[in-house]
Chains A and B, each alone.
Chain A
Amino acid sequence: MRIIVCLKPVPEPRQWHRLMLDPETRTLLREGIPATVNPLDKHALEAALRLREGMGGEIIILSMAPRDTIPVLKEALAMGADRAVLLSDRAFAGSDTLGTAYVLSQAVRSLGEYDVILCGNETIDGGTAQVSAQVAEFLEVPNLMHVSGIEAAREGPFQVKTRIERGYRAIEIDPPMVLSVVKEVNVPRYVTMMNILEAEDKEIRVWSSNDLDLTEPIVGLENSPTRMADLFLPEKRRKAQLLEQDAEGQARVLADRLHRLGFC
């Protein structure tokens, strides 16, 4: 089984409070915030590892990101992927989901045959949850979102569960396909020191736009259909009057206010 895992390096969520908005350029300053594997992408990789354990085969990590994110790819290789391809080119910078999905899909075509492409359902930073479905559309293969369970068979279709409002759908689907996983699908394994050492020799190839057949004019900031017209921080809506009494005193002040407003 040949499995491709799409993975996005994202700024470490625990340090997002350090994000600043440049007041002049209206761009987001993320200096000094280290990159890490997008949390759901770890679940996608874990799903890939389990498929490989059952069926054998190869796992390729595919990522479109700046070159300085190579340590993040090493983390994924330490988890057990076989090799990684990093798509890195200034021409890709600023692509919206359509351009990103197109670049990823053309890289998939260059990689040849595959059975499954696994993705996190969404990233924690942009969070559009659009890229994986758009990769499937460019590749003209079926895709499922919100995947919470995957059972593969040597012969015949995969049995997949997908989350919907207050429930799920059970679906049979044939490879090749794109599956976008949610957290419930599995618990990603921990990486040991041994894994990290073993991953040192694994191959990370870097491809630029020259290595891909990009004929459609939808890649990069200028060619993306969407534009960021404005970026702003949500206004701090109110500034609380902080109470200073003991617990009973504060409770009485609030209860009194609630009573006057008719809430009790």
Chain B
Amino acid sequence: MSRIMETIESRIWVFVEHRQGRLVEVGLELIKKALDLRGPTGWKVAAVLLGHGISSLVEETLRYGVDEVLAADDPLLEEFCNQAYVRTLAEAAGKRRPEVLLLGATALGVDLAPRLAARLRTGLSAHCIDLELTDSGELLAVVPGWGGSVMARISCPGTRPQMATVKPGVFEMPRPGSPVGRTIHLKPVLDAKDIAYRVTAVYREEVRQSGLDTADVVVSGGWGVGTAENWGLIRELASILGGAVGATRPPVDEGWADEHQMIGTSGRTVKPKLYIGVALSGHMHHLVGIKTPELMVGINKDPKAPIFDHCDLGLVGDFKEIVPALIKAVKEISGR
């Protein structure tokens, strides 16, 4: 009997987060990746959902092709507290022994994953930008180190589950279809002690659409833009090309750009067809956030700037002259 159970149970688990009644995209991206990865292992894929009153979210998750949804529905799981979530997941993993456990590198995911890995005494790779699974079921996680200037492939040979957090936007979003899997209800045994802190308020800004995630054109500015006034040129160029504005870290620190516009290791991942980097040097911690555009353009006054090692076309000179000229030329050529 126990052997039969082993063959049916899912070996790859994907933790699927939800926020304000909606599934968070990175969880769905990871479901698709897990389904693509399993290949020769033939492993089944489970989504794991924790929360309270989540039955409709469970139904929705089943439409993304998972074999199982493991659902823990408990009032003590309504507001995220890492110790209660760790206990629930550690008990389920201890009993069902998944080989792989993937989480999105969201605020919640990177809070939950390290404690869970320590509880399970297993290895965890952080903020991965790619995943591979060998035929024998070994997970290889590609992680950026040193702000993205070095990449490491990390394995976890001796302990299970092999855990990884993955940056949002790295993998493709799946389309929903007809549900195929089944739901298994985890029954966590939690008490008030597992709620080690009290969340007294949650503030979220209205979702401001930066449009970065879906933009075909991204124009990014860096430290060299210099002033908030100059930043207007970045906006204008993005606007005339129907694109979104991105930024490296310094413009965000200076207040020219908003935090949600930051691209790279500590920001978002974008997948534009055209990327233009203006007055930024081209450090890897920014560039790892740009997934292979068709055309990549750099504008920098230094012909030796690292950005030019990653571009198709480099415009060399003062962006304060080049960008207005470009805006004018684009207007002319497009007949506006």
Contacts and interface: CB of A to CB of B under 8 A. Distances in A.
Given A145-B107, A229-B155, A242-B314, A254 B115 contact: no
Contacts of B316: 242-244, 250
A231 interface: yes
Given A128-B127, A145-B107, A225 B152 contact: no
A154 interface: no
B274 A258 contact: yes
Contacts of A244: 316
Contacts of A141: 196
A143 B82 contact: yes
B315 A243 contact: yes
B75 to A, nearest CB: 18
A236 B149 CA distance: 11
A167 B147 CA distance: 25
Interface string A141-184: 11111100000000001000011111111111110010000000
Interface in B144-159: 144-159
Nearest to A142: B196
A145 B153 contact: no
B183 interface: no
B106 A165 contact: yes
Contacts of A165: 19, 106-107, 204
B197 A142 contact: yes
A133 interface: yes
A177 B81 CA distance: 14
A133 B113 CA distance: 9
B294 interface: yes
Contacts of B333: 255-256, 258-259, 264
Given A97-B114, A242-B308, A264 B334 contact: yes
B184 interface: no
Given A98-B121, A234-B288, A243-B314, A169 B202 contact: yes
Contacts of B86: 137
A136 interface: yes
B196 A173 contact: yes
A141 B296 CA distance: 48
Contacts of A41: none
Nearest to B273: A263
B207 to A, nearest CB: 7
B180 interface: no
B193 to A, nearest CB: 11
A193 interface: no
A194 interface: no
Nearest to B148: A234
A187 interface: no
Contacts of A171: 197-200
A134 interface: yes
Interface stretch (A68-76, A119-127, A205-213): A119-127
A218 interface: yes
Interface string B280-295: 0000100110001011
Nearest to A141: B196
B329 interface: yes
A170 B79 CA distance: 12
A216 B121 CA distance: 10
Contact of B207 (A130, A157, A166, A253): A166
Contacts of B61: none
A225 B122 contact: yes
B240 interface: yes
A226 B154 contact: yes
A264 B241 contact: yes
A172 B197 contact: yes
A248 B325 contact: yes
A90 interface: no
A141 B19 CA distance: 26
Contacts of A55: none
A163 B110 CA distance: 12
Contacts of A263: 216-217, 241, 273-274, 295
Given A96-B123, A170-B200, A240-B308, A146 B107 contact: yes
A28 B151 CA distance: 11
Contacts of B107: 145-146, 162-165
Given A128-B127, A238-B296, A257-B313, A133 B118 contact: yes
Contacts of A204: none
A108 to B, nearest CB: 14
Nearest to B288: A234
A225 B200 contact: no
Contacts of A230: 152-153
B136 to A, nearest CB: 14
A67 interface: no
B199 A226 contact: no
Interface of A: 13, 16, 19, 21, 28, 96-98, 101, 124-131, 133-134, 136-138, 141-146, 157, 162-174, 177, 216, 218, 224-234, 236-244, 246-248, 250-259, 261, 263-264
15 contacts: A96-B123, A98-B121, A134-B118, A170-B203, A231-B150, A238-B309, A239-B308, A242-B308, A243-B316, A250-B316, A253-B313, A256-B333, A257-B295, A263-B216, A264-B333
Given A229-B154, A259-B330, 8 more contacts: A21-B150, A173-B196, A226-B125, A233-B149, A238-B296, A258-B330, A263-B216, A264-B240
